[in-house]
Amino acid sequence: MKNTIQHNGAPCVEARVHMLATDVVHYIGVCIKPMSDRKVGNIEYFRSPMFMSLEYWQPQHLYITTPPIGVLEDGRGYGGLKDGDAVLNIHTGEILTDIKSPKCGQWHLIIATTDPKLFIPTEYKDIEGTLPQPTQALIKAYCEQGGFDEVDVEYVYENSRCVECGEYEGSNICINRKECLKKYYGGELKLKVDSHNTITTHRIEEKMISISDLKPKLIKLLNDNDCFLDLDKWIEENL
């Protein structure tokens, strides 16, 4: 996973957003039968699932995933799947919660979902818990914008120590010590979840590249690979 910027000083991980069909009526639906004001494939947000007609809509769930191992902007690493984690195969859409010795390639960790039936183990023996969920604002934005592939998700470090005094981050000794630069190391990276079991996300702004900036790079790529292409014609037909 590539590094991401921090948002308001909070470490963030770039996550993928997947939409998968479900048999249970929910807040998200994909149009499967054309209507006067809807086309097949349109994504709709329903304030109440009771308003969704299965004749016209296929219910969907969102799954937010991260590769199991990565490095943050500050250089600190995170990750590693363990037995009992909920994972999604990014190639097939298969979901598992009992995977043993998972391979990191095709399996991504599900960190949040709208699916209330997806349970994971908790710190308490024989007790399962529901995964965190995205906010209603994110779900609504996803539908209104026709879907998007990525979001930045906020995390927090637990048990990080100050590089100056060695005290844990947030301790009064460190906070009141003027010599401390308020820079920390180590600690365990954990998903930031609020009291409603929802995550904090930020949309990733797409970088716009002009044709004038792109054209020289394409020409160099073609020349380096001894390829011939009428680039101006290709740009006119495809961009």
Q: What is the pLDDT along the chain (239 residues), one digit of tens a residue?
A: 444 467 777 788 889 999 999 998 889 999 999 998 899 999 999 988 888 999 999 999 999 998 765 444 444 444 566 667 788 888 888 888 766 555 555 778 899 999 988 877 665 555 567 899 999 999 999 999 999 999 999 988 777 778 777 776 767 777 777 777 767 766 777 888 999 999 999 876 554 455 666 667 667 666 665 566 666 766 665 55
Domain extents for the chain?
A: 12-157+191-207, 209-239
- Cβ neighbours of 126 (radius 10 Å): 6
CA dist 239 to 31, 156, 165, Å?
Answer: 28, 41, 56
Task: Decide if 110 contacts 63 (C-beta within 8 A).
Answer: yes
